[in-house]
Amino acid sequence: MTASGVPGNALASSTVEVHIVHTYRGDLVVDLVAPDGSTYNLLNRSGDSADNVDQIFAVNLSSEVANGTWNLRVRDAAAQDVGRIDRWKLTL
């Protein structure tokens, strides 16, 4: 996701809305990657056996310049399950 025309840094009250379709959410590691390469862990192998991730995460991004390319990185840390990123939204 590319942000442009946003003056200054992101907000301390930034949010990341994440929707992932997955058969075992407890295996997932989800990170937000800032334009400078800094990573913010949103979800780290919670052990939760429920399906899917439908959650809004509050993240203090005030040290990051808002403009640039932001990425959502998702890793399935186990085998056998399948999934996909359905959608995500970043509020800076």
Q: What is the CATH number of the domain that holds 38?
A: 2.60.120.260
Average pLDDT over residues 34-59: 92
Tell me whether residue 91 is exposed, middle or buried, using C-beta atoms within 10 angstroms of its C-beta: 0 to 12, 13 to 18, 19 or more: middle
The pLDDT-based confidence of 48 (bands split at 50, 70, 90) is confident
- Distances 40 to 50, 82, 91 between C-alpha atoms, Å: 23, 23, 14
Choice between 48 and 66, residue whose per-residue pLDDT is larger: 66
The structural domain count of the chain equals: 1
> What pLDDT is recorded for position 78?
87
Average pLDDT over residues 70-74: 98
- 0.85 cut: is pTM over it? yes
Domain span holding position 64: 2-91
Q: Is the pLDDT of residue 46 over 80?
A: no
Q: Is the pLDDT of residue 30 over 90?
A: yes
